[in-house]
Amino acid sequence: MRKLDLAQIISVLANVGVVIGLVFLTLEIRQNTAQMRTQGAYSIKQSVETLNQGVYLDIEFADLLYRGEKSFNDLDPVEQSRLATYFFSEVHLAQYILSLEDEGLSDLHFGYVDLKVNQFRTIPGRKEFVETFVRPSTFRGRDDIQRMLTEE
């Protein structure tokens, strides 16, 4: 009788240990997810800041962006290449943000993707860029970004 009671007590204690372990694991997963969300948001902030610095620290590029947003097609081929690289960087950042959001790893508090989609759909030079590089099959990226940029 004593052996049976001891075995039951050990079994109950083992089960309690498993439950405590599962609770601890759940807390660790939540903490890790929160940290990953914070890191994702910081990474996005750093990327946006880097893109912005390319404009406000370089007056020549700021002028190129200004002229290119008026008319991408009026730029010479070298200027178009420089500006297209910048625009693709913005599009790739939007793709990265959507990927983080798909995985639930973004705590972004402003609508970067919506902002960029709106800019590419309404600013004349950006629209010309989309018609030249994104609408044709040459674009390599997420289908949803291409669809957002090209839908009427």
Q: At what angle do helices 59-70 and 77-102 cross, to 10 degrees?
A: 90
CB 146 within 8 A of CB 139: yes
pLDDT tens figures, 42-86: 888 888 888 889 899 999 999 999 999 999 999 999 999 999 999
How far apart CA 51 and CA 89 sit, in angstroms, is: 8
Tokens of 114: 């919506």
Question: What pLDDT score does 139 carry?
Answer: 61
